[in-house]
Structure 1
Amino acid sequence: MAENTQLSKSDKPSLPAPEPPRRSTVRSLLRLWPYARVARWRIAGSVTAALLASGSVLLVPLVLRAIVDGPIAHHDLGALWPPAGLLLLLGLAEAGLFGIRRVIVARPLAKVESAMRGDLYAKLQRLPVSFHDRWPSGQLLSRATSDMFTMRLFLAFPLVFLIVNSLVFLTGTAMMFALDWRLGLITLLPALPLVLLTRHFEDRYSGAARRAQDQTGDLATVIEESVLGIRILKAFGRHRTMAERFKRQATELRSTELHKADMLANLWAVIVGLPEIALGLALAVGVVRVADGDLSTGTLVAFLSTALALRWPVESLGWLLAYANEAATATDRYFEVMDEPEDAPAESTTVPTEDQGIRFTGVRFRYPDAPADTPDLLTGIDLHIRRGETMALVGATGSGKTTLTALLPRLYETNGGSITLDGRDIRSIPLPRLRELVSIAFEEPTLFSASVRENVLMGRPEATEQELATALRTAQAGFVEKLPEGTATQVGEQGLSLSGGQRQRLALARAVVGRPEFLVLDDPLSALDVHTEALVERALRQVLADTTALVVAHRPSTVLLADRVAVLAEGRIVAVGTHQELLHSSAAYRELMTGQTATERSLVR
């Protein structure tokens, strides 16, 4: 199995993202305040506009009472026009204010969403590789897209109307009691059962909302893997298997969404039904009292109009609570990533400066999510690569060679021991500076959806065209000249428009373009044919002559690039020497280079 510095699948298992304990809805949503405060005045303006619009609606019943008890009761049609015009103005004011509300918050909340997405992306770049090993990419993608949209929409609409509808309900209720307190008591009969029901609904719905969002992330992972691995799926005829996996997860998501819809439908039925029953009872009592002369017709009309105006604040309660829970779980998922600890900062550790080159001293390492009963992958590495020397690192598949090279630029942190560069502990070197000093070419080259030039110059963005050309020549990447637009040619996602050997040569050019002081090459020639490999090796010798290098090797031809060779076995360096010395003194090295055990060689003889 090939080793991969980025994922190290041969060395460690991959685990799903953890699910933290659930916070209360309010506490979760309050975490949005640092972002939302920049738009606080716009949100306040939106609330004000919505309150004024809703207030105009509550004025309508008072105007209706004046019309019924005035012009209509006295059959004075001339007096009807002024209040009718007032009703028209109130309607126009409501429409205009709701339109203004949307305009006020649209742009600033788009900026809030953009800022949050930018912070999330920056955080992902700062998080250690061990974090990305644990988290499926689809989960991270869903947090940066659908969850972000959910939070923005909550700030723009549900948050505003949770405030506005609550105030409107209290104001409307006060108006109904002012009109007639007996009828007001009747309409409030459903209040207690509704409070208990919504509390129960919130507890159940939040769990279903979180489950649906996680399942959306899992589904995004399946889609991403299917697209990136489409050649493998087609080549092995496994598209039906992946389709079944997609269908299974899509069905699970559908079931969860239907369960959410079922809970919301049940809540909505009760929220709509109970107030309607109470309103019908209030109407019956009101009609009797009007007939008995205890209540004016205009007052009854105003009371019923006010009650009807409160239907939307009451009926919207279920949807607003549901969306608030959706936003709370989206916020939790966002801050799960933002709360992750980043790469450890530089420490003040120092060592004698005369110790030049790369030195590993008692280095131990195990992956953070490795089972507790398993031994360390690296149990005590002691190795010194002298300044200007090239050291080849060999070992069986899964022995930890790739992991060891990943410790040098601190893609992973050691569990013990120390690593120094020219006598300075790497933990005392700021990460940006450390990764300028150490350049690395992975066995599995990763290219981005960008031009050849942009991919190579990731190793040194300020490099000149001459340095770019030199790096491409060193990597024997002459094929670039034959591409449609030369170095400006877009290589496509993951560089799949290129062959494996071409991708590997561009990754090698990226590693050497900056002429780094320390160079790590993880079997950089594995995808090359024999002729190209020989040309690259010849050019690499010139680069290696001016740097201190650690080269992971599997073939004798790569080993011969090195001044000395280190053999890694059982988590330790078991032998160090030249190629010829180890062939005579190390059985483990002979077995790695020849592929034959001592028993097999004796049988051949």
Structure 2
Amino acid sequence: MTSPSEKPSTIRALARLYPFAKPVLGRLVLGAVSALGASLLALSIPLVLESLVQGPIATGDVSALAWGAGLILLLGLLEALMVWLRRWFVLAPSTSVEYDMRTSFYERLQRLPVAFHDRWQSGQLLSRMMQDISMLRRWLAFGLVLLVVNILTILVGMALLFRWHWALGVTFLIVCAPLWYAGYRFEKTYGTLARRSQDQAGDLATAVEESVHGIRVLKAFGRGKHALVKFARQAESLRETEIDKAKAVGWIWFWLVLLPDIAFALCLGVGIVLTQAGQLQVAELVAFFAMATVLRWPMESIGFLFSFLLDARTASDRIFEVFDEQNTITDPTDPVTVAASRGALTFEGVHFRYQDAPASERDLLDGIDLSLEPGETMALVGLTGSGKTTLTTLPARLYDVTGGRVTIDGVDVRDLTLHDLRTHVGMAFEDSTLFSQTVRENVLLGREDLVPGSPEAERVLREALAVAQAGFVDELPDGVDTVIGEEGLSLSGGQRQRLALARAVAARPAVLVLDDPLSALDVDTEALVEDALREVMSDTTTLVIAHRPSTVMLADRVALLEAGRVTAVGTHSELLRTSEHYRYVISSLEDAAERRDEASPRTRPVPTTEEVPR
């Protein structure tokens, strides 16, 4: 029912499921064989009816009639058994395929670079992960098997219709032939609508996710109604697309029901004429219509199954769009191993620009040369847009340089496996993200070497929490075993930042990258954290973005960034004396810090310095 130009693409799209379906292909085939057996048993019943009409019914032989009725009952029971076997064969394997696809999809999302996640909406990824993969599972278990079996049933049944008289078969075939053209038109229309619908469903999922995560902002600004209007507009677009899909399905169903009925009427007229002419017996005419009735359901189901096929094809396209995304940040072919990193971090002629940046724009990082000695703490300062945050993403390869290189102990970070590299490099971000797990699991996220619940794991946990001044966790309902809310939104911004900092400290990396991790803390708590961090950073190479003068004071040296370039490096006092731009930046940081401190009242008792481990 598809055009020659369309069929290869549909087959090719769905054939990509073969690696996932291969382990269970045997059971899927057995399911199809069972379904075909059920159809063949149904097709054999009209043949038995023909014998009954010609024999026992015509002669009045009651005993033979009873045997015939018993045979039909037996065929019906066997058909029901085959239907049960079909479901038994295919249901469990299809869920295995769904599981494998979903875990592979999730693994792919974990491996794809941050640049990919910058471009893709989370709702689109969620709809592919859940709805599209579930649709493919239902199609493998139901749609594919029945589509193949019903097409074979129609072909076998059509051939049997010619068994009684060629005129009846030709009449039925000619009247039903336009269904193939209707199917071709249906594919053209429905395929486009199916893709639009699934994409709109992804956009709608994104809107819901954004609204839930931003519920505090919407309530604070009284913009709930505005969000509702926008959501309703998107939901209405999806509704209109679904209506268009329903119209397309209704159109194909109209022809699938109408044409067989017309064929029945014409065949009845032809059959009466042939019977009167003595070319066809009444028993044969009864058998013909019984066979045509058996074919009614397979023919009517083709419209639904074909729309299911197109939905599955669209789902496959959407899923493999993600699988086909190029992963530019991968492990090297011949990785280098750094057993015990000293933490010497160097940026050598580093350039960076985003892939979609216009060619006319300069590189965001335009030739960075910077060296950090083992155990040294260096602060990055600069105005907004100078490239500070971008620079901190490069040591852990969240992004790859587009020119130059970043090295640890003289080894290019691209020559290390990602697992090895991220064992040596730890990060804490200003926008701290926590997971819907316990406090313990969040803090020890980077310590897969620790045995959960062991004394060593408890020691590391407590030290990290103390450094981050996160003693508030003991006041939570279950202490460190409290499951925090989604993304940690049940905690304050300062609490989330302290747990994120504790997570970075607990990882004990050779290189620690801090993207202004103390921005949400009040000045007293920040001072306590900074005192504790000095102890931690004494043997850790630390690169920290400073948005407060007090953070700058943590550093051994300071690097000044201007328009993607390091324009000065030195101690805080040296740069104050020699760089006018540095003095301007520090003055701006002081003004911003004063405004923020005035707007952040202290809400908790501040621990004394004796509570900080030394």
* TM-score under structure 1 length normalisation: 0.92
Distance 1:350 1:167, change over 3 A: closer
Conservation of the 8 A alpha-carbon contact between 2:349 and 2:369: yes
Opposite residue 379 of structure 2, the aligned amino acid is: A
Aligned residue in 1 for 2:600:
none
**How far apart in 2 are the matches of 1:23 and 1:512?**
55
Q: Answer with 533-542 or 378-387: which moved more.
A: 378-387
Alignment of 1:82-231 (within 5 A): 82-231=67-216
**How far apart in 2 are the matches of 1:237 and 1:86?**
73
Distance 1:562 1:58, change over 3 A: same
The 3-state SS of whatever aligns with 2:64 is helix
Distance 1:373 1:204, change over 3 A: farther
Alignment of 1:350-365 (within 5 A): 357-365=344-352
**How far apart in 1 are the matches of 2:175 and 2:357?**
55
Conservation of the 8 A alpha-carbon contact between 2:45 and 2:72: yes
**How far apart in 2 are the matches of 1:162 and 1:436?**
51
Conservation of the 8 A alpha-carbon contact between 1:355 and 1:423: no
Aligned residue in 1 for 2:607:
none
Conservation of the 8 A alpha-carbon contact between 1:426 and 1:434: yes
Q: CA deviation at 1:422?
A: 1.0
Q: CA deviation at 1:562?
A: 0.2
Residue 550 (structure 2) pairs with residue 557 (structure 1): yes
Q: CA deviation at 1:193?
A: 2.0
Q: Which residue among 313, 327, 332 is the counterpart of 1:346?
A: 332
Task: Give 5+ residue unaligned stretches, structure 1.
Answer: 1-20, 598-605
**How far apart in 2 are the matches of 1:167 and 1:288?**
31
1:115-158 deviation per Cα after TM superposition (whole angstroms, max 9, x unaligned): 11010111111110000101000011011111011100110111
Conservation of the 8 A alpha-carbon contact between 1:379 and 1:571: yes
Distance 1:418 1:355, change over 3 A: farther
**How far apart in 2 are the matches of 1:184 and 1:22?**
28
Q: Which residue among 450, 454, 475 is the counterpart of 2:437?
A: 450
Q: Between Structure 1 and Structure 2, how many residues are aligned?
A: 577
Distance 1:303 1:515, change over 3 A: same
Q: CA deviation at 1:374?
A: 2.8
The 3-state SS of whatever aligns with 1:157 is helix
Residue 281 (structure 2) pairs with residue 296 (structure 1): yes
**How far apart in 1 are the matches of 2:423 and 2:192?**
45
Aligned residue in 1 for 2:453:
none
Distance 1:348 1:49, change over 3 A: closer
Conservation of the 8 A alpha-carbon contact between 2:343 and 2:540: no
**How far apart in 1 are the matches of 2:402 and 2:7?**
31
Q: Which residue among 411, 416, 424 is the counterpart of 1:429?
A: 416
Q: CA deviation at 1:345?
A: 2.5
Q: CA deviation at 1:194?
A: 1.7
Conservation of the 8 A alpha-carbon contact between 1:451 and 1:487: yes
Q: Which residue among 357, 360, 366 is the counterpart of 2:353?
A: 366
Alignment of 1:36-115 (within 5 A): 36-115=21-100
Q: CA deviation at 1:596?
A: 9.5
Q: Answer with 557-566 or 59-68: which moved more.
A: 59-68
**How far apart in 1 are the matches of 2:232 and 2:181?**
38
Residue 376 (structure 2) pairs with residue 389 (structure 1): yes
Q: CA deviation at 1:344?
A: 2.8
Q: CA deviation at 1:191?
A: 4.3
Conservation of the 8 A alpha-carbon contact between 1:347 and 1:429: no
Aligned residue in 1 for 2:458:
465
Residue 191 (structure 2) pairs with residue 244 (structure 1): no
**How far apart in 2 are the matches of 1:334 and 1:513?**
37
Opposite residue 95 of structure 1, the aligned amino acid is: A
The 3-state SS of whatever aligns with 1:363 is strand
Opposite residue 579 of structure 1, the aligned amino acid is: H
Q: CA RMSD in A?
A: 2.0
Conservation of the 8 A alpha-carbon contact between 1:388 and 1:547: yes
Opposite residue 364 of structure 2, the aligned amino acid is: L
**How far apart in 2 are the matches of 1:160 and 1:420?**
55
**How far apart in 1 are the matches of 2:474 and 2:341?**
45
Aligned residue in 2 for 1:536:
529
**How far apart in 2 are the matches of 1:120 and 1:356?**
35
Opposite residue 344 of structure 1, the aligned amino acid is: T
Conservation of the 8 A alpha-carbon contact between 1:391 and 1:565: yes
Alignment of 1:307-318 (within 5 A): 307-318=292-303
Q: CA deviation at 1:74?
A: 2.1
Distance 1:348 1:77, change over 3 A: closer
Opposite residue 166 of structure 1, the aligned amino acid is: I
Opposite residue 227 of structure 2, the aligned amino acid is: M
Q: CA deviation at 1:367?
A: 1.2
1:503-559 deviation per Cα after TM superposition (whole angstroms, max 9, x unaligned): 100000000112211010111111101110110010000011111110000111000
Aligned residue in 1 for 2:425:
438
**How far apart in 1 are the matches of 2:398 and 2:215?**
29
The 3-state SS of whatever aligns with 1:286 is helix
**How far apart in 2 are the matches of 1:511 and 1:409?**
13
Residue 567 (structure 2) pairs with residue 582 (structure 1): no
1:163-184 deviation per Cα after TM superposition (whole angstroms, max 9, x unaligned): 1111111111111111211110
Conservation of the 8 A alpha-carbon contact between 1:129 and 1:412: yes
Conservation of the 8 A alpha-carbon contact between 2:343 and 2:511: no
The 3-state SS of whatever aligns with 1:345 is coil
Opposite residue 88 of structure 1, the aligned amino acid is: L
Q: Which residue among 495, 500, 519 is the counterpart of 2:488?
A: 495
The 3-state SS of whatever aligns with 1:484 is coil
Residue 273 (structure 2) pairs with residue 273 (structure 1): no
Distance 1:88 1:589, change over 3 A: same
Conservation of the 8 A alpha-carbon contact between 2:94 and 2:140: yes
**How far apart in 1 are the matches of 2:468 and 2:447?**
16
Q: CA deviation at 1:347?
A: 6.2
The 3-state SS of whatever aligns with 1:253 is helix
**How far apart in 2 are the matches of 1:394 and 1:116?**
45
Residue 475 (structure 2) pairs with residue 482 (structure 1): yes
Task: Give 5+ residue unaligned stretches, structure 2.
Answer: 1-5, 451-456, 591-614
**How far apart in 1 are the matches of 2:589 and 2:134?**
59
**How far apart in 1 are the matches of 2:68 and 2:412?**
83
Distance 1:257 1:575, change over 3 A: same
Once the two structures are aligned, what percentage of the paired residues are identical? 54
1:68-94 deviation per Cα after TM superposition (whole angstroms, max 9, x unaligned): 111222233332111111111111221
1:183-206 deviation per Cα after TM superposition (whole angstroms, max 9, x unaligned): 100000034422222122112211
Q: CA deviation at 1:495?
A: 0.6
Q: CA deviation at 1:330?
A: 0.4
Opposite residue 559 of structure 2, the aligned amino acid is: A
The 4+ residue runs of structure 1 with deviation greater than 6 A are 353-356
Distance 1:418 1:274, change over 3 A: same
**How far apart in 2 are the matches of 1:110 and 1:462?**
33
1:413-464 deviation per Cα after TM superposition (whole angstroms, max 9, x unaligned): 1110111111111111111000000000001100000000000001213342
**How far apart in 2 are the matches of 1:476 and 1:467?**
14
* TM-score under structure 2 length normalisation: 0.91
The 3-state SS of whatever aligns with 2:430 is coil
The 3-state SS of whatever aligns with 1:216 is helix
**How far apart in 1 are the matches of 2:541 and 2:336?**
20
Aligned residue in 1 for 2:603:
none
Q: CA deviation at 1:23?
A: 7.7
Residue 510 (structure 2) pairs with residue 523 (structure 1): no
Opposite residue 346 of structure 1, the aligned amino acid is: P
Distance 1:457 1:373, change over 3 A: same
**How far apart in 2 are the matches of 1:316 and 1:372?**
54
Q: CA deviation at 1:350?
A: 8.7
Q: CA deviation at 1:502?
A: 0.7
Opposite residue 156 of structure 1, the aligned amino acid is: A
Q: Answer with 442-451 or 309-318: which moved more.
A: 309-318
**How far apart in 1 are the matches of 2:130 and 2:447?**
31
